[in-house]
Amino acid sequence: MPQDPNNLIWIDLEMTGLDTQRDEIIEIATVVTDAALNVIAEGPVLAIHTADAVLAKMDDWNRRQHAASGLAERVRHSEIDLREAEQRTLAFLAQHVPEGASPMCGNSICQDRRFLARLMPRLERYFHYRNLDVSTIKELARRWAPEVAAGFGKTASHLALDDVRESIRELQYYRACLFKF
């Protein structure tokens, strides 16, 4: 399928914590949709090798979450480093969206962008400078249309591909409820 500048790139990262200057990316997933939020392609889902010493520094929440999901074990056994994960993700995106065309799409995406700027700068630069942050719409709905906000339940598996898919479904939900064109 040729590149389309109207396609949207959805991304989610799992990290060892929320400190953008200290913590590490341990998983990345991307999905490309068309402008109507139909999935065109799912990119590689990559667990990024991380040393046990780094994983040991995770706080209790992250340690429990990533152990329960199996991500911590996948990360320990992965042979993929940050550079390879970045290159494989860029190769996938280049098949579907021209560089600089798509905003970064997802939930609380500013946090992901900060991690990418530090650890995967080529990937961060592939996106347009704008963000399509579903959490902004969620916050507005919570304040202006609480019945709509209450109508979408998240599973929050904290696995990158699951979270990307959920972000797309969430925006589809808000589009149907709030943006009736």
Strand-pairing partners, residue 47, are: 27
Is residue 42 within 8 Å of 33, Cβ to Cβ? no
Euclidean distance between CA atoms 138 and 128, whole angstroms: 22
The catalytic site residues sit at 129
For residue 63, how far is the Cα from the chain centroid? Answer: 20
